[in-house]
Every structure is written in C-alpha cells, then in structure tokens.
Amino acid sequence: MKPHEIELTARAIADVQLPDGAIPWERGRHADPWNHVEAAMGLDIGGLHDEARRAYEWLARIQEPEGGWFAAYLDGEVLDPSSDANFCAYIAAGVWHHYLVTEDEDFLRVMWPTVESAIDNVLTLQRPDGSIAWARDEDGRPWPGALLTSSSCIYLSLRAALSVAGVLEKERSEWLLAGRSLKRAVAHDPLAFENRERYSMDWYYPVLAGAVTGAAATRRLRGEWHRFVVGGWGSLCVLGRPWVTTGETAELIIACEIAGLHREARLLWSWLPRLRDEDGMYWTGMNHPGGELWPYEKTTWSAGSILLAADVSRGGPTKDLFRR
C-alpha cells in the first residue's frame, strides 16, 4: 500500500469510531473487544494516535472487575454476555503495538492495570495440557474445549503482555511459564484442540502468533497453501465454500512475511485491490469465481488487518509485534 492509501484507510476507520472511543464493525453495528483492538492498531499505523489511545481507554473504562470483557456491545449496552478468552487477551497486543509505534511509556503505565487484570483472568482458563478454554458462557462457566486459533492468538497476546511487563520492570514469571506450556500445546499437540482443520486460521495462526517458527513454519505454510489459497483471489476462510476474505488474506500475508516467504506475501498483495473500495475501506469477502461481494459489508477490523499487513510488509514497527 502507498502512504496515501494507508492514511485514507485509517481515516475511514476513524470516521466510524464513536465519541466514547468504541470502534464498531460498521456504523450502527456492535463492537467487540478483539475486532475493536484490530481496528485501533490500524489507527496507529495511519498516524491517528489520539484516536487509537481513545480506543484503548474505552476498553479500560468498561473492563469487568474480574478482568474480562463481554463478547459484544451496542450503544453502550452489553449485547452478548458471554466472554471470549481471546477477545479479552488481545488488549495486551494492542497496548504493546501502540507503544511500538509511539514509544509512549506513560501509556504503558496507565494501561498496565488493565493488561495485567486481563491476562490474569484469561490464564484462569488454562487447561492441564497448556491450551486455553476459548470462552465462558453468560453464567461464567468455561467452555469444555479449546480452539487452536484462539489459543495461538492468546499466545501472541501473552508475549505482548510480557513485553509490556519487561519495559515496566514487572516480574511475571507465572506468565512466562504459562506461555511455555501454551506454546507447546499450539506447536505440538493438535489433540488438545477441537477439530477445525477446515478453517484457514487453524493453518496459519500458529505461525502468525510465533508458536511455530523457522523451518517448521515454512513447511506448515507451504504444505497447506494449495488447499486454502485460490490463485488470483486470496485465502479462503473455510474449505468447501467459495469465499475469499480480506482478513484471512491479510493475516496470511503477515504469517508469510515473518516466516520469510516474501514472494508469497507479494503475490497475495497483488490480489487484494479488488476488495478495496474507493473510500479506503475493504469488503469483508468475495465469492469466486463470480466475484460477488459477501457479506455486503466493509468492516473496520478488515481495514485494520490490512493496515497491519501493510506495516509488516514495509518493515514497520508492527513487525516487532509478531517477531519472537
């Protein structure tokens, strides 16, 4: 992406942001903690640091006493009273990313209680095999299973939280031990997770999150490329459906870049313009080979994922979020 395209996309996200700092999927739709953070990181990449900070301050204000968040909010009210562990952990990735972009250590100090409480809350869901139960229901009961994509992203967030702790000279050895156990499960224990091999995220997220690295990462990405990547279009969301998506394609670009597959990343980039609209936003997905947009939406988190991929591809500070 060219600099003016990055700026236009970031400003398109900011145009959807609400006065209280929340970033819904689109105008009039709900906000959830994970996609809100994804969009906020996009704001920082576009240089809109005040808007990004307001986004994180919104999360800090509405955090529940036990450290988590509900799964969805609409017009200041709880829309979905369940709690997704990955949604709750992702605040750490966003806060660390804001610091990488701005070098604002005061921001880390202000946000530390929020990050600390969120990570402690999520780690109460860690299972004996190292995986993380992916959610709690509205009554607070843990889901009996774990998801590979969710646990992978929690590993990324835990690494970010440890980085925040390092800058602030906070000792969190229990987080380090939890991270080692979680990494072992993600990288080496597929039976620890519910079987969702049809979803492309289960393919590339262990690489994206830094749990699978080096030659193993290259083998993993190349080994399933033919199953999930549609030439000329992008990454499928799920096998068996003719649907390529902006989010999955952008995240796969990041995974390729950090695994050293730069040619593959450039190839994916060459297919994405068809999903970009003139206002700088990106359509969520498109059916192939007909090219019908589905669903007919341009979400802030899709735009955020594109901006993250753009910054990684140009060697920006976002790359340090995903590096080991």
Dihedral (CA of 220, 221, 223, 226) sign: positive
| Continuous segment of H or E residues that includes residue 319 | helix 319-322
* High-pLDDT (> 70) share of the chain, %: 100
Tens digits of residue pLDDT in 124-178: 999 999 999 999 999 999 999 999 999 999 999 999 999 999 999 999 999 999 9
Round to whole Å and give the CA distance between 231 and 8: 28
Helices (H), 168-299: 173-188, 200-208, 214-228, 246-258, 262-271
Tens digits of residue pLDDT in 173-200: 999 999 999 999 999 999 999 999 999 9
Round to whole Å and give the CA distance between 230 and 73: 35
* pLDDT surpassing 80 at residue 76: yes
- The beta strand positions in the chain, using DSSP E, are 72-74, 77-80, 83-84, 135-136, 229-230, 234-235, 243-245, 285-287
Tens digits of residue pLDDT in 278-323: 999 999 999 999 999 999 999 999 999 999 999 999 999 999 999 8
Average confidence (pLDDT) over 95-123: 98
Round to whole Å and give the CA distance between 227 and 246: 17
In this predicted structure, what is the pLDDT of residue 323? 84
* Crossing angle (nearest 10°) for helices 148-167 and 105-123: 140
* pLDDT surpassing 80 at residue 249: yes
Average confidence (pLDDT) over 80-104: 98
Q: Decide: 293 and 285 in contact? Cβ < 8 Å.
A: yes
Tens digits of residue pLDDT in 43-73: 999 999 999 999 999 999 999 999 999 999 9
In this predicted structure, what is the pLDDT of residue 200? 98
In this predicted structure, what is the pLDDT of residue 324? 64
Going by C-alpha positions, the residue among 245, 243, 229 that lies closest to residue 298 is: 245
Q: What is the pTM of this model?
A: 0.98
Q: 3-state DSSP call for residue 276?
A: strand
